[in-house]
C-alpha cells in the first residue's frame, strides 16, 4: 500500500473540490482513497475498499456524514467504523471496519497521511500567509504520464525556465542564459528547503520552495500583493502523476476570476509536460546514473532525500486479523 510513498502527508485535493453530498475517489500511489465530509463537515479519508466485498466506496453516497457502499449499503464513518449493516440488526459492528487515513484540511487544501496503521509524527505545514483572511485558494488538476519524482524535480528546477518557458515565466532570464552565471541558494527549513537565485551576482525576484515530499511553492509576491503558486505532484501510480496546480492570492479574489489565473497556469504547466514525459527512465535514477551541473543543486537535494526516505517505502499490508473478521456465517 502506498508503494514508494509511505508515511508522508500529501495534499490530495483542494477544499473546494469536496462537497458534502458526494464522496470523491482518488488514486494515491497505487492505492485507492475515498474522501468525504463527516457530519461536522470535516474532510475524512478511507482506503477506498469496502471491508465487505472490496467494492469502491467512492461509487456510493454520503449520508449522515458516513460513506455508504453502493453494493449492500454498509455505512462507514470517518474513523472507518462500520455503523450500519442493512438486513443485519444483530451485526457485531464493533468487529467491522475499513481503513481510515489521517486527514487534515488547512488553507484550502486537504492532506492525507499515507499510512492507515501508524500515526503521523508531525502535522502538515503550509505557508502561513495562506491562512490570512481574504486569501483565495483555487486551482485545477492535470495528469502527466510520468513518475511523480520526475515531475517534482521539474518543479524545483531553475535553469529550465528560459528554455521551456521562454515566452512565459522564463522570459526575463532568456537573454542572460547564454553567457551569465546562475547561483542557487538552498536554505534548510523544517518543511523542506527555500531556494532563490542570483544571476551574475544579482539576486532575482521570487523564490521556490520544496515542501517535502511533493509540493513546490513559487512565491511571486511583490508590490504589496501576495501571490503564491503551489503545485503538488500527486503520485497516481508508477507512470502517472496528477499535478494539482493551485494558487493563493489576496487580490482579484472573487471565485469567478479564477479562470484568468487558471488559463495562465495551464499554459505554463503544458509547456513542461511534453519535456518531462520524455525523461528516461520514468522514475529518477540514482544521481550517479545521470550527469549533472552545479545548478542542479535543488533537484539533487530532493533526489538524495527521496532515496534516503521514500523510494521502496510501503505502508504495512498486514492488518491485524481483527480488522479482517467478517460477519459470522450462519
Closest approach of ligand FES to the CB of residue 289, in Å: 45
220 binds ligand FES per the rule CB under 6 A = no
68 touches 75 (CB < 8 A):
yes
- Contact between 263 and 282 under an 8 Å Cβ cutoff? The reply is no
Q: What CA–CA distances, in Å, run from 307 to 153, 159, 189, 285?
A: 13, 23, 19, 9
Q: What is the DSSP string of 118-155?
A: S--SS-----GGGGSTT-EEEEEEEEESS-HHHHHHHH
**Exposure on the CB side of residue 41, measured as CA atoms within 13 A:** 3
Of 189 and 324, which CB lies nearer to ligand FES in the complex structure? Answer: 324
- Residue 28 to residue 44: CA distance in whole angstroms: 15
Q: Which of residues 28-87 bind ligand FES (CB under 6 A)?
A: 50, 52-53, 55, 69, 71-72, 74
Say what angle helices 297-305 and 148-155 make with each other, to 10 degrees: 140
- Of Fe ion, ligand FES, none, which one sits near residue 71, judging by CB under 5 to 8 A according to partner kind? ligand FES
The site partner of 216 among Fe ion, ligand FES, none (C-beta below 5 to 8 Å per kind) is none
CB of 86 to ligand FES, least distance (A): 8
Task: Show contacts with Fe ion in window 232-291 (CB under 5 A).
Answer: 272
Between 6 and 45, name the residue whose CB sits nearer to ligand FES: 45
Cα 248 to Cα 33, 56, 83, 97: the distances in Å are 26, 33, 38, 37
Q: Which does 53 bind (CB under 5 to 8 A by kind): Fe ion, ligand FES, none?
A: ligand FES
DSSP 72: T
Nearest approach, Cβ of 322 to ligand FES (angstroms)? 19
Among ligand FES, Fe ion, none, the one that 272 touches (CB under a kind-dependent 5 to 8 A) is Fe ion
Residues that bind ligand FES (CB under 6 A): 50, 52-53, 55, 69, 71-72, 74
Residues that bind Fe ion (CB under 5 A): 272
Amino acid at each position: 500500500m502506498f508503494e514508494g510513498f509511505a508515511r508522508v502527508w500529501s495534499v490530495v485535493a483542494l477544499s473546494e473540490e469536496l462537497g458534502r453530498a458526494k464522496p470523491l475517489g482518488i488514486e494515491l500511489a497505487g492505492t485507492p482513497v475515498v474522501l468525504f465530509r463527516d457530519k461536522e463537515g470535516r474532510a475524512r479519508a478511507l482506503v477506498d475498499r469496502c471491508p465487505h466485498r472490496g467494492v469502491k466506496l467512492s461509487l456510493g453516497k454520503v449520508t449522515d456524514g458516513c460513506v455508504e457502499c453502493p453494493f449492500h449499503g454498509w455505512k462507514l464513518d470517518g474513523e472507518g467504523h462500520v455503523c450500519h449493516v442493512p438486513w443485519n440488526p444483530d451485526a457485531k459492528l464493533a468487529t467491522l471496519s475499513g481503513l481510515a487515513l489521517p486527514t487534515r484540511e488547512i488553507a484550502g487544501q486537504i492532506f492525507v497521511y499515507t499510512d492507515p496503521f501508524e500515526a503521523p509524527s508531525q502535522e502538515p505545514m503550509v505557508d502561513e500567509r495562506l491562512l490570512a483572511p481574504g486569501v483565495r485558494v483555487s486551482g485545477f488538476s492535470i495528469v502527466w504520464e510520468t513518475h511523480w519524482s520526475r515531475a517534482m524535480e521539474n518543479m524545483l528546477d531553475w535553469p529550465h525556465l528560459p528554455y521551456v518557458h521562454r515566452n512565459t515565466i522564463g522570459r526575463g532570464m532568456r537573454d542572460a542564459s547564454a553567457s551569465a552565471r546562475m547561483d542557487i541558494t538552498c536554505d534548510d527549513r523544517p518543511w523542506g528547503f527555500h531556494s532563490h537565485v542570483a544571476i551574475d551576482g544579482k539576486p532575482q525576484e521570487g523564490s521556490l520552495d520544496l515542501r517535502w515530499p511533493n509540493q513546490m511553492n513559487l512565491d511571486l509576491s511583490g508590490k504589496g500583493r501576495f501571490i503564491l503558486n503551489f503545485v503538488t505532484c500527486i503520485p497516481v501510480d508508477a507512470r502517472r502523476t496528477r499535478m494539482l496546480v493551485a494558487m493563493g492570492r489576496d487580490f482579484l479574489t472573487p471565485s469567478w476570476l479564477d479562470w484568468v489565473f487558471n488559463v495562465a497556469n495551464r499554459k505554463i504547466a503544458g509547456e513542461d509536460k511534453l519535456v518531462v514525459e520524455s525523461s528516461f527512465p520514468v522514475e529518477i535514477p540514482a544521481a550517479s546514473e545521470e550527469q549533472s551541473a552545479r545548478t542542479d543543486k535543488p533537484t539533487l537535494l530532493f533526489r538524495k532525500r527521496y532515496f534516503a526516505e521514500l523510494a521502496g517505502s510501503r505502508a504495512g499490508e498486514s492488518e491485524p486479523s481483527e480488522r479482517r473478521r467478517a460477519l459470522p456465517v450462519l
